[in-house]
Every structure is written in C-alpha cells, then in structure tokens.
Amino acid sequence: MVHRHLLHNGQVIDASSRTLAAGQVGLLNGWGVFSTIRVCDGVLFAWERHWARMQRDARLLRVPFPEDPQTLHADLVKLVAANQAEDSTLRVAIIRNRGGWFEGPALERDFDVVAFTADVRHWGRGVRLAVQPQARHSACPFAGTKILSWSFNLAWLETAQQRGFDEVILLNELGQVSECTSANIFIEKGNLVLTPPLNSGCLPGITRELLLGDARPHGMTIVEQPLMLEDLYDADSVFITSTTRELLPVLVIEDRKLKTSDPCRVIMQEAFSRYCDSYIAAVKRKAA
C-alpha cells in the first residue's frame, strides 16, 4: 500500500486526489517511463543512475522528459519528507500527455511527473521461480526499456503466484534466460559469476550495473554470458537482484530444487552493502 502523499508535477498532494485525466495518452497507452528507487536514511540511492536510465529510455520512446535532475530530485526528497519515508521504496513515473488520435482537450503539459512511496517489502530467505517461454524478444529495439506498459509482467507474475511461486524467469525467443519480471538473474559456477547480457533482452537493472562495476568485489570475476535453463539447474547457486531485493537466493525453479552453495553471493552482498553505505554517507556529507 502506498503512503498518504504522492508527488504530482512538483506538488505533494493526498494520494486519493483525482489529478490525472483519461485524455493523457500515456495513461491509456502505457506511453511513459518509470523507475523504482530505494530510499535509505532519506537518501535516494543511486539517483544519478536511475535518472540516466529513465532519460535514455524516454529518448528512445519519444517521451518528453524533465530537463533538470536537481529539480526532480528535490521534489522527490520533498515527497519522502512529507510521508516520513526515510526508509522506503519510491516509484517515479514520467507520463506522456500528447500525441495520437485520442489526445484529450485542454492538456497544459507535454508530460506529467507522478511519484509515490511505499514500505520496504521483506522478501524472506529466498524465492521460488516459475518459467515463462517466449516472454522477451531480444531483437526488439525497445528490449530492456523500463516502460509503463508493464501488464504482461504483472499477468505472468500473478499467474505464477497463483501457482505458489514468487517470481518468473522470462525466456527470450531463442530459449535463453533473460530476466525476471522485476529482477535480473545471476548464477555461481565455482569462483565464476555469470549473468545474461543485455542483448538477451533483459533490463539494465541498477543493482546489476553496480555489481558489474563500482560495487564489484575486488578480485571477483563476473561475466555477461548467454544462459539456458540448464545452466541455472547445474549452477552452484542462482540469485536474483533488484533495487528492493538486493541479492536474493533462488531456492526452486518450477519443480527443481536448486543447490544453494553461495559464497560468491555472500561476498557480493557484503560488497554491495558497503557501496550503499558509502554512497549514503557521501550524499549526507555533501548536504551538510
């Protein structure tokens, strides 16, 4: 459940307010971009990376986008303060308003900015994954974009949850592992950690990006490599990553119980946590 207040075009208002119109083409067509951001001690973690990804996706999808990251950041911090949500999950969406045959009358803006916060979800000690074939088209020019058209993911997730699973592995048209509906996938094989490349059709998740870059443990080899389901079954361990989950072990895929020898995941989680702490401390020092 979202918190009491939301952000609408720079204004913090009651979450029950009627602020959007059906004539905004982005609402009925899913024409917009969004990002989910972890708020830690009042700090928007990895804000610069979330902004850059939304901006890149908006350019590709022809979605008008805010010009100034500092202004949007300040508005989001204002929302966090209004909701007293210093430890929370924040979602921000940029919605295109104009275009197409069914644009509504009297629209004053090219886009709307909407954001809200919610409590951090606790995911437990691991997840059970279902499998969905033909769920990603890796050759699509929009593959890997984080857009408002999210209903396929929600339908697959709801179906899996009705079957007793927590998430869904999405395969591409080649039968390769791409991602989950809202998480990236990694496997351990000995001292090697593997994750599907972006050309599998997966989203470039911020946690994934950090583990491949600035938050990578010293001396650890993490490689982008095409993976099949059999690679996951044979791995020493499998884990998923996302803004809200960080690094979470996979216990079961469909009817297969997986091995859970995960020393690499533990090391990577420790390194990621250190990076998070360092990032938050740096932001606070700068603000002081």
Amino acid found at 194 = L
Amino acid found at 247 = L
CA-wise closest residue to 196 among 231, 221, 152: 231
CA distance 40 to 60: 30
**pLDDT of the residue at 287:** 86
pLDDT at 18 over 90: no
Structure tokens at 181: 């509906």
Amino acid found at 60 = L
pLDDT digits (tens, 9 = 90+) for 218-252: 989 999 999 999 999 999 999 999 999 999 999 99
Please give the share of the chain, as a percent, with pLDDT higher than 90. 91
Three-state DSSP at 269 gives helix
CA distance 191 to 202: 24
**pLDDT of the residue at 9:** 97
Structure tokens at 56: 């890149």
Amino acid found at 36 = T
**pLDDT of the residue at 1:** 87
Please give the share of the chain, as a percent, with pLDDT higher than 70. 100
CA distance 179 to 196: 8
| Pairing assessment for the beta strands 88-96 and 177-180 based on DSSP bridges | unpaired
Is 147 in contact with 57 (CB distance < 8 Å)? yes
CA distance 115 to 5: 9
CA distance 127 to 200: 22
pLDDT band at 22 (very low <50, low <70, confident <90, very high): confident
CA distance 194 to 176: 13
Three-state DSSP at 200 gives helix
Burial of residue 113 (number of CB atoms within 10 Å: 0-12, 13-18, 19+): buried
- What's 198's DSSP letter? G
pLDDT digits (tens, 9 = 90+) for 30-45: 999 999 999 999 999 9
CA distance 28 to 20: 11
pLDDT digits (tens, 9 = 90+) for 77-102: 999 999 999 999 999 999 999 998 88
| Pairing assessment for the beta strands 192-195 and 32-40 based on DSSP bridges | unpaired
Three-state DSSP at 152 gives helix
* Residue 17: half-sphere exposure toward Cβ, Cα within 13 Å: 15
Which residues does residue 116 pair with via DSSP β-bridges, in sequence order? Answer: 6, 91
For the chain, list the domains and their CATH numbers. 2-118 (3.30.470.10), 127-276 (3.20.10.10)
